[in-house]
Amino acid sequence: MRALLAIVLSSFTVLAFAQKGNPGYVVDGSGQVVRTGTGLCVHTNEWTPAMAIEGCDPVAKKPVPVISVIDSGVLFAFDSAVLTAAGQEALNVLIKQIKPGNTVAVVGHTDRIGPAAYNQTLSQARAQAVVTYLSSRAKANYTVTGVGSTRPSGKTGQCTGPVNQKLIACLAPDRRVVITIM
């Protein structure tokens, strides 16, 4: 009877450890996943495929997105949505990474100079110009978003003063296009 009680109590101890780590697996006192005699990992009744861990279950490799942030000064002249020759060259480097079936999200940003509605339109036009160029050279699924000046880069907090060349230069990091290839 004591032996049976010891087995039952040790089972509760193992299950208690399962709750502290990944609740999908039974773990021993040292935090290691408990395996059967044939090497299979022991799942708890809470296990789902989303809890799969490498070494126990097949784990799908999540693709790592390629994120490129291109300064709008490279892609466009100030206050323009027409791609420059330098911008086309920068995009040509990126095109090599785009494969059919990829989803490519293009988000245009502007600085805070000018009315919000104008900045929204300019950011959308810049993102669309990038997608038009990319899609003519690389087949993929493209999305276009313009966010105007609503998402500053975080690098321009000290940019103050009247609108002049100094302020325009200081706000350059806010003028960008973010391209994410998934």
Give the domain ranges of the chain.
2-51, 66-181
Q: What is the distance between the alpha carbons of residues 48 and 143, in angstroms, rounded to a whole number?
A: 32
Q: What is the pLDDT of residue 13?
A: 43
Q: Give 30's pLDDT tier (boundaries 50, 70, 90).
A: confident
Q: Which two tokens stand for residue 110?
A: 């502007």
Mean pLDDT of the chain: 86
Domain 66-181 sits in CATH at 3.30.1330.60
- pTM as predicted: 0.68
Q: Give 16's pLDDT tier (boundaries 50, 70, 90).
A: very low
Residues 114-141 pLDDT 10s: 999 999 999 999 999 999 999 999 999 9
Q: What is the pLDDT of residue 6?
A: 45
5-10 contacts at long range (C-beta below 8 A, 24 or more positions apart): none
> Within 13 Å of residue 146, how many CA atoms lie on the same side as its CB?
21
Residues 43-102 pLDDT 10s: 998 888 888 888 888 776 777 899 999 998 899 988 999 999 999 999 999 999 999 999
